[in-house]
């Protein structure tokens, strides 16, 4: 055996021996023993210590520096919320909350998620034979996900981020006090702030002049997608318009776009088309932010737009989706919005049924903007944030000239109900270029295709950047597929939302 082979074997063995270290903090001896015994059955996990109260939990985390802490919130000496706050401030790490099914514990668990706990797990009311296997499977899955998360890096960044934001904002405020010098310092503003990619298109007249002689028609094609596990309500949103995969890339919203009309092409343009007719060529042409298919083989010289330019919903509308790590991220985003915000926001957050009401209530208390659980058939009003109710899909309906919320039971989509994709698809269909879709932290793929539909229909699609994602799963897939117009860290999203709304309004 040569040296290279020996080193390789040692390297592989090192990987195999590297385990996820865990501390269990629970004042119940029975709970500690059952959870320890369950986790010891998994060779990837090592229990390095136990804590019987909050004070001991803090000391053990500082001493052992585990990969994951499993924390019960109702403990003596120092309660779980204070333990979490101290740990996230001094020695941040992924914390999984042990929650019981009682109002006090559920409320505390919701607050823990908003503070920055990685995830939660509901303790079985009785550790019976039927409940233990599911509890074990869920806990091990969450521990493995927690190990892959960016809680430590994210928490370390937060102090820097807060200082950076205040510095940035202060500098921007100072710049705008000197309006006479804006032209001289334009480049500095550009480097300090992100310009929103949504502008009112002023080139419609130019398109009319350059496109004379072309007859334009709208071509709608049903999107072919597997929807066998989706009920009729969701299937309606799968009737999407076929689009070039490059649609929306670096495009600008056409806020006042009109239906294309017959137009004439200049002679130079006509000559180019004439030269290529015999070759039977077709190609994509972008005019006024719309993707067209130009048929060069046809004597009629037709340009066919593959997007309907006019949305049913004329006002700006924001839709957001999040999974693991979402509660804290949503708090960061929504805290940056004012009470009189001039647009509605609809959110799907993957949460256990028992947490939705408490989560919504806590967000409403923390934020200036009004936050509520969405109700079926209620009209969508600006200045409100609508959280999808538990165990129901949420979509946008348009009736009587106004947008309404529709909630309904159906089959889970991407393993979730409510599903982010259901909301995003309905927004893309009705709002088109007036929609801003935002896909935040979380594992899996829910929301990815819906974000792509928003972009394809002319809207703006944002994926949370790796910099601040607790779990870089859903946004990563969306970015890889080219479905995001922009990538932003969570602390810059609220500023972008406000600019988007200001542009349209």
Catalytic residues: 323, 350, 446
Task: Report the C-alpha gap between 390 and 380 in whole angstroms.
Answer: 19
Place of tokens 């974000």: 451
> Directed axis angle between helix 356-366 and helix 326-334, to 10°?
30
Residue 190 makes CB contacts below 8 A (sequence gap 6+) with none
Question: If you ran DSSP here, which 8-state letter would residue 297 be given?
Answer: S
Picking from 53, 58, 56, 86, the residue whose alpha carbon sits closest to that of residue 72 is 53
Task: Report the C-alpha gap between 119 and 139 in whole angstroms.
Answer: 10
Picking from 438, 437, 478, the residue whose alpha carbon sits closest to that of residue 458 is 437
Task: Report the C-alpha gap between 114 and 107 in whole angstroms.
Answer: 11
Q: Beta 435-439 vs 119-122: how paired, if at all?
A: unpaired
What's the CA angle centered on 27, arms 21 and 29, to 5 degrees? 80
Picking from 75, 71, 160, 65, the residue whose alpha carbon sits closest to that of residue 116 is 71
Q: What is the CA radius of gyration of the chain?
A: 26
Q: Judge contact between 450 and 425, C-beta under 8 A.
A: yes
What's the first-to-final CA gap in the chain, in angstroms?
Answer: 72
């Amino acid at each position: 055996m040569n040296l290279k082979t020996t080193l390789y074997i040692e390297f592989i063995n090192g990987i195999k021996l590297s385990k996820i270290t865990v501390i269990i903090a629970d004042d119940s001896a029975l709970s500690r023993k059952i959870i320890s015994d369950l986790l010891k059955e998994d060779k990837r996990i090592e229990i390095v210590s136990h804590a019987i109260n909050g004070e001991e939990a803090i000391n053990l985390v500082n001493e052992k520096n585990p990969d994951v802490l499993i924390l019960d919130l109702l403990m003596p000496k120092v309660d779980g919320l204070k333990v979490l706050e101290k740990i996230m401030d001094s020695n941040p790490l992924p914390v999984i909350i042990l929650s019981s099914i009682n109002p006090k514990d559920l409320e505390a668990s919701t607050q823990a998620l908003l503070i920055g706990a990685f995830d939660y797990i509901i303790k079985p009311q009785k550790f019976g034979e039927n409940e233990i296997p599911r509890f074990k499977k869920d806990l091990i899955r969450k521990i493995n996900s927690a190990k892959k998360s960016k809680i430590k890096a994210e928490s370390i960044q937060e102090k820097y981020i807060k200082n950076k934001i205040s510095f940035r904002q202060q500098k921007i405020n100072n710049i705008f006090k000197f309006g006479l010098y804006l032209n001289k310092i334009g480049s500095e503003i550009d480097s300090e702030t992100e310009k929103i990619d949504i502008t009112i298109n002023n080139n419609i007249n130019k398109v009319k002049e350059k496109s004379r002689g072309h007859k334009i028609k709208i071509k709608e094609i049903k999107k072919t997608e597997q929807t066998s596990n989706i009920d009729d309500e969701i299937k309606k949103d799968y009737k999407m318009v076929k689009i070039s995969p490059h649609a929306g890339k670096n495009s600008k919203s056409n806020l006042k776009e009109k239906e294309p009309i017959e137009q004439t092409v200049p002679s130079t343009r006509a000559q180019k088309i004439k030269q290529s007719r015999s070759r039977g060529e077709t190609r994509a042409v972008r005019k006024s932010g719309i993707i067209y298919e130009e048929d060069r083989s046809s004597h009629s010289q037709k340009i066919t737009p593959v997007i309907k330019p006019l949305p049913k919903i004329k006002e700006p509308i924001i839709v957001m989706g999040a999974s693991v790590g979402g509660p804290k991220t949503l708090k960061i985003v929504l805290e940056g919005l004012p009470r009189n915000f001039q647009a509605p926001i609809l959110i799907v957050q993957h949460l256990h049924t028992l947490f939705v009401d408490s989560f919504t209530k806590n967000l409403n208390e923390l934020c200036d903007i009004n936050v509520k659980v969405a109700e079926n058939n209620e009209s969508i009003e600006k200045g409100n944030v609508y959280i999808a109710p538990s165990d129901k899909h949420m979509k946008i309906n348009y009736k009587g000239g106004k947008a309404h919320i529709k909630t309904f039971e159906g089959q889970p989509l991407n393993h979730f109900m409510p599903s982010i994709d259901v909301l995003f698809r309905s927004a893309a269909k009705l709002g088109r270029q007036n929609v801003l879709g935002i896909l935040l932290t979380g594992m899996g793929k829910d929301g990815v295709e819906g974000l792509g539909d928003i972009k394809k229909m002319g809207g703006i699609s944002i994926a949370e950047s790796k910099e601040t994602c607790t779990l870089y799963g859903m946004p990563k897939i969306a970015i890889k597929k080219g479905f995001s117009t922009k990538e932003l860290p969570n602390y810059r999203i609220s500023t972008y939302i406000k600019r988007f709304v200001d542009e349209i309004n």
